[in-house]
A and B are shown apart, each in its own frame.
Chain A
Amino acid sequence: MISVEEKLLVNVLYKPESEILNGIEINDINFDNLIKLASRHLMLPALFFNINKKNISYLFPEDFIEYIKNIYSINKARNTVLLKEAKELSELLYKNNINHIFLKGTALLLSNVFEDIGERMMCDIDFIIQHKDEEKVEKILEKNNYFTNNIIDLFRVFKPKHLTTRVNKNKTIRIEPHLELLSPKYRVVFNSKKLINDFKDETKTIKTPSKPFLFDHCIYALQIEDKRFFNSYHSHRSIYDIYKLDCKNSLTVKKIKKDIFITHFFINIDKFKIFDIHIKTTLLNSYFYKFLRKILIINQILFQIISIIIELFYSNELRKRALNKISNNYNNKTLLNYLYKWLKA
């Protein structure tokens, strides 16, 4: 069941002015709930931008418009700083001959996917580097005052998704240097090999991936990393990203059905009728999804257990920490005592 506020949000974002009140009685709208909903989905700036663009501010209370206008203005100012700092960072990496490609929100903004830079709310500057440059990048960032307070793992079985996030005390936005696109356990599905050709190009500043890549990355990150494949929640910010990537012409039911994660994304948002694509779910399909989810969950658990065992086997430091934890907290439990003895041996 879609609330009337969510219907209005969707209409404002995706429908032309003449269709915004289709199926909606404006007096039924609770504007407090609209603020809660839009802010939870990080969509207040996009909401204001579209209200303004479609000249429909007369439908909303004045103080509501004034409030979301403020949020939009602050966000726009922040994104201006973000773009400036992304360019400075890119220059720094370029000077040091580091091939890098911007990802996610930063890439969308740099690729001019949005009509206005104030529309999209963003946390940090994401970019990906090649595995071989990992140590060099760490050194360059450290030397140029990008500091981190996070503990760097001494031992890793797999390359992490990203290096520790860093902040330059003279700058505003934190940076996140990626080594991979998804966590290790999901890399079978989607990994940085898809960017090999982009990395083969000569090093330059402000490199962004192609739109089809951004489309795939957006969906896989949402469905797998943010676990939307395992529940029915949706993210309006991601839906808006996909909409703005404007893949409408290249999207066909046949193409979508080739990939289960993309299919699930479109099934999940079908109720909003944003895209002209309708994918029917059959009973067999829904059983298949349930089965697949269980397989993926079991895969995650097994992956986690195996990684921990390998890490404990190879790293003295981690083994000591584990031993201390077990001996401090679980002295009386037989199974853990057994594990403790096993680790000690």
Chain B
Amino acid sequence: MTMKKENKENEEIIPSGITRKDAIKKMGKYATLTAMGTFMILNPKKAQAQSASGGESDDSDDSDDSGNPPPPTGWGD
């Protein structure tokens, strides 16, 4: 069972000893480059919020402004 502590600056410390801020910093470089779709899938709450507001989410098709291809929905999902 993992225990969470809070220090004076109200910062969570996880058992490995690094702060949440450090963890984000560590993941940060690549996390900022990762497409939103990946996080939307991995974060169930966000995915649920999306589904609750969304209707048929699978019909999106347009590429973004930078000319990147649309996210690969595949299978319409």
- CB contacts (< 8 Å) of B26 on chain A: these are 63
Residues 41-66 of chain B, each 1 if its beta carbon lies under 8 Å from chain A, else 0:
11010011001111111110101000
Q: Is the CB of B70 within 8 A of A233?
A: yes
Q: Is the CB of A42 within 8 A of B52?
A: no
Q: Which size class do B's interface residues fall under?
A: 35 or more
Q: A121-B41, A124-B51, A233-B69 are in contact. Are A225 and B76 (CB under 8 A)?
A: yes
Q: Out of A35, A71, A122, which one reaches B77, CB within 8 Å?
A: A122
Distance, CA A233 to CA B63, complexed state (A): 10
Q: A123-B41, A165-B51 are in contact. Are A44 and B74 (CB under 8 A)?
A: no
- CB contacts (< 8 Å) of A40 on chain B: these are 35, 37, 68-69, 71-72
B24 at the A/B interface (Cβ < 8 Å)? Answer: no
- CB contacts (< 8 Å) of B42 on chain A: these are 71, 74-75, 78, 121
Q: Out of A42, A104, A162, A176, which one reaches B72, CB within 8 Å?
A: A42
- CB contacts (< 8 Å) of A103 on chain B: these are 75
**Listed stretches A89-97, A215-223, A251-259, A304-312; interface member:** A215-223
With CB as the reference atom, state the residue of chain B lying closest to A172: B44
Q: Which size class do A's interface residues fall under?
A: 35 or more
Shortest Cβ distance from residue A72 to the other chain B in the assembled complex, whole angstroms: 10
Distance, CA A126 to CA B27, complexed state (A): 32
**Listed stretches A136-144, A234-242, A282-290; interface member:** A234-242
Q: Is the CB of B33 within 8 A of A39?
A: yes
- CB contacts (< 8 Å) of B54 on chain A: these are 150, 165
Distance, CA A332 to CA B52, complexed state (A): 37
Interface positions, chain A 86-127, Cβ under 8 Å from B, are 103-105, 121-124, 126
Q: Is the CB of B74 within 8 A of A218?
A: yes
- CB contacts (< 8 Å) of A226 on chain B: these are 58, 61, 70, 72-76
8 CB < 8 A contacts A-B: A39-B38, A104-B77, A122-B77, A123-B41, A149-B53, A225-B75, A226-B61, A226-B76
